[in-house]
Amino acid sequence: MSNIAYFPAMPPREDNRPGKRERTKTANRQAILDAARQVFGELGYDGATVRDIIRLTGLASGTFYNYYKSKEEVFDALADDGARRFRPLLRVEFEKATDFASFLRGAMRAYFDFLAAEHETWRVNRPAGETHPQVRATPEVTAVFAEVREAFERVLEREHAPPVDLDYLTAACIAVAREVGDKMLERRPMDTQGATAFAVGLILGGLPALPRP
C-alpha cells in the first residue's frame, strides 16, 4: 500500500516535538503565569486570590496547584521570569564594558530601559494605597545580584582599582537603581537617560571617596 495518497486528519509529528500532554502542560503553566500578571496588576498582590488567577484561565481551581504551590510561588515565578529576561542584557553590558565606568553606565541604562518597558505591561491599575510588593529573593533574582557583584569585582580588579567593600557597594548600587528607577517611573515623560545620568554620576563620583577596608 502506497503512502502517497494518505493524509491523516492530524499529520504525524515529523519533528521531535513533545506529545500533547507535555504541550498542554507548558501551555497551562504559561497561561497561569499570564493570568497572574494581569490579576496582580489589577487587584494588587494582597487583593488577588488564587481563584481570581485560575478563573482567567478557564481551568479548575485544583489545577492551579498542579503547577504552583501558592499565590506566593506564582508571584515569585513572575519575578524569576523578569530576572531571567534581564540577565542576558546585563551580560552583554559586561562584555561590552572596557572599565567600571562604562559597565556601570551600560548596566544602569539597560536596567532603566528594561524597567520602563516592563512597566507598560505590568502596572495596569494599581489600587490606591497599595505599595508594590517587595521583590523577593527568588533564585533568579539572587543570581542577578551575584552576577552584578562578580562583574564589579572583575572589572574593578582589571583596572587595578583600590579595594572596596564589595557587598556594600553592590547593595548600594542596586538600591540606588531600584529607588531612582521607581521615581523615574512616576515622571512624565519617562526619562531613562536622566535617571541613568543621576545614578551613574552618584556612584562614579562616590567610588573614589569610599573608605578603604
Residues that bind a copy of itself (CB under 8 A): 46, 72, 131, 133-134, 136-137, 165, 167-168, 171-172, 174-176, 178-180, 182-183, 194-195, 197-199, 201-211
Residues 6+ apart with CB under 8 A from 61: 50, 51, 54
Considering the complex, what minimum distance in angstroms separates the CB of residue 181 from a copy of itself?
9
Entry field: residues in the chain: 213
Nearer to DNA, 23 or 123 (CB): 23
CA distances (Å), 8 to each of 1, 21, 23, 53, in order?
Answer: 15, 20, 21, 38
Q: Which grid cell is 31?
A: 497561561
Binding-site partner at residue 28 among a copy of itself, DNA, none, CB < 5 to 8 Å by type: DNA
Binding-site partner at residue 208 among a copy of itself, DNA, none, CB < 5 to 8 Å by type: a copy of itself
Binding-site partner at residue 133 among a copy of itself, DNA, none, CB < 5 to 8 Å by type: a copy of itself
DSSP state of 207: G
Q: Which grid cell is 204?
A: 562614579
Work out whether 28 is an interface residue with DNA (CB under 7 A). yes
Binding-site partner at residue 137 among a copy of itself, DNA, none, CB < 5 to 8 Å by type: a copy of itself
Q: b/e map of 1-26 (b: 16 or more CB within 10 Å)?
A: eeeeeeeeeeeeeeeeeeeeeeeeee
Residues 6+ apart with CB under 8 A from 23: 17
Nearer to a copy of itself, 49 or 63 (CB): 49
Work out whether 59 is an interface residue with DNA (CB under 7 A). yes
Q: Which of 30, 51, 157, 163 binds DNA (CB under 7 A)?
A: 51
CA distances (Å), 71 to each of 26, 33, 36, 86, in order?
Answer: 18, 11, 9, 23
Nearer to a copy of itself, 155 or 176 (CB): 176
Q: Which grid cell is 88?
A: 542576558
DSSP, collapsed to helix, strand or coil, labels residue 81 as: helix
| # binding residues, DNA (CB under 7 A) | 22
By CB under 7 A, name the binding residues for DNA: 19-22, 24-25, 28, 49-51, 58-63, 65-67, 69-71
